[in-house]
Amino acid sequence: MRLTLKNLWKRRKQNVWLSVELVLVSIVCWFVLDPLCVIAYYAFGGADGYDADRLVILTTHSRGRNTIELAAAKRGVEGIKTKLRNMEEVECVSLTYQRYYPNGDAAGLNSYFGVPDDTARWAVGGLLITRRGEDMCRTLGLKVVDGSMEDEGVIITQGLALTLFGRTDVAGAMMVEYHNAPWVATAEQMAQYKIAAVVEDYRVNNMVYTRHGVFREYERLYVGDQDELLVRLKEGVDATDFCKRIRPTMQKELCSDSLFVCKVQTMNELIDNRLRYQSVTGSIRRYISLAIFFMANLCLGTIGTFWLQTRKRKGEIGIMRSFGASRGRIMRSFLLEGFVLTLVSHLIGCFMFFQYAVSNGLSVGVMGDRMRESLSRMSELWLNDFWPHFMAVGTGIYLIIFSVVSMGIAIPVWNICRTKPVEALGDG
């Protein structure tokens, strides 16, 4: 290390300019890669919190009229559910209500919850409706953290459990829903629920996690004209093939009373359609393409700079070879210089970007205000915690820069070491 620092000091004029370039590269990488990391994580990384594979969505419709009586709707839906359960490919079936499920249209900020005798209120981002006797949570494939889905009561996410109680083992505890007025509510405007189970946080619209989610019962679950059924297929059954097989005959075979199945799609198809509708997929791909193109040019420029600087030290390598230094030792010596130079430059770049991040915050992606609002309600992921976020992205940027610098050093050093010391000294 002492020899490395000595060599760096001897070449301080050249190293100052190299450091300036690396500092600029570090800062630019922050602005490019920080949003890229966020977008990539929420689009492709992390667990969904539910099992989208082998999940099929069927939509019912009434014959001849838009709405039907509640009793008739109930008979029709129950008849279709019975036919689905009798299929050998089907594991379980659940009725939902106007897409009250993780990738549905109606998951939103529409209720406030708290604990008894507490004045605090917490907004729920994802109120999913189920009905007594429906196996919606098991059909979705939600993972239970505490309690049992078979018990009577509501099912909440672990994020809401942590907010309300500070822990997740809260099965059997009571919680309160405040109606009409979120901050001031009378006894008539409150409803108490017993917590039956706690499940893991899940993705909403396939992009962000909901921190505060509740599954509760709703008495009038049958709409009549357009109910939706969630179907969980058995292991080994392909959801796409299942949809193709039943689609030609579903209106005739999957019918009961005045209701029939008019549409079927996989959960993954629904996710893709929603992402395309929101222009999410296209935005992600365009940003990733631009980021890759920009980073490729930046890396090539950095490699070229260090390649030329290393080539200028051919005579120095020749002297080291004439004194008996091995190729490995020379390589380690030059790479160690690159390591120290890159580390110091990157720390300076991180410090400069830190000033910006403190004022403006770290990236939440390029999804706009709606994305930002959703992120404010998500679970305590590393992306939502400043220091883990800053350290993770900063470390990744350093590894990228050092890899690029190493390529610009290692390749010419290796080529020079393959020549005879006399030739290297002569060229130097």
> What does the pLDDT look like over 35-91, one tens digit per residue?
888 777 766 666 677 888 899 999 888 876 555 677 777 788 889 999 999 999 999
Token pair 């404010």 in the structure block, residue: 376
Tell me which of 26 and 295 has the higher pLDDT.
Answer: 26
**Using one digit for the tens of pLDDT, what is the confidence trace for 90-116?**
999 988 765 666 666 554 455 778 888
pLDDT score for 402: 94
Average pLDDT, the chain: 79
pLDDT score for 378: 44
Average pLDDT over residues 322-349: 90
**Using one digit for the tens of pLDDT, what is the confidence trace for 189-214?**
678 889 999 988 877 655 555 567 78
Interior/surface letters 77-114, b for 16+ CB within 10 angstroms, e for the rest: bbebbebbeebebbbbbbbbbebbbbbbeebeeebbbb
Check pLDDT > 60 for residue 140: yes
How open is the CA angle 184-189-191, to the nearest 5 degrees? Answer: 120
- What gap in Å lies between CA 362 and CA 388, rounded to an integer? 11
pTM of the model: 0.62
Check pLDDT > 80 for residue 26: yes
| Sign of the alpha-carbon torsion through 418, 419, 420, 424 | negative
- What gap in Å lies between CA 337 and CA 133, rounded to an integer? 68
Query: Torsions phi, psi of 8, nearest 5?
Result: -65, -40
Q: How is residue 166 annotated by DSSP?
A: S
Contact 48, 267 (CB under 8 A): no
pLDDT score for 375: 45
**DSSP 3-state of 145:** strand
pLDDT tier at 341, thresholds 50, 70, 90: very high
Query: Torsions phi, psi of 32, nearest 5?
Result: -90, -45
pLDDT score for 185: 54
Token pair 């900063």 in the structure block, residue: 394
Q: In 189-266, which ranges are continuous DSSP H helix?
A: 239-246, 250-253
Check pLDDT > 50 for residue 233: yes
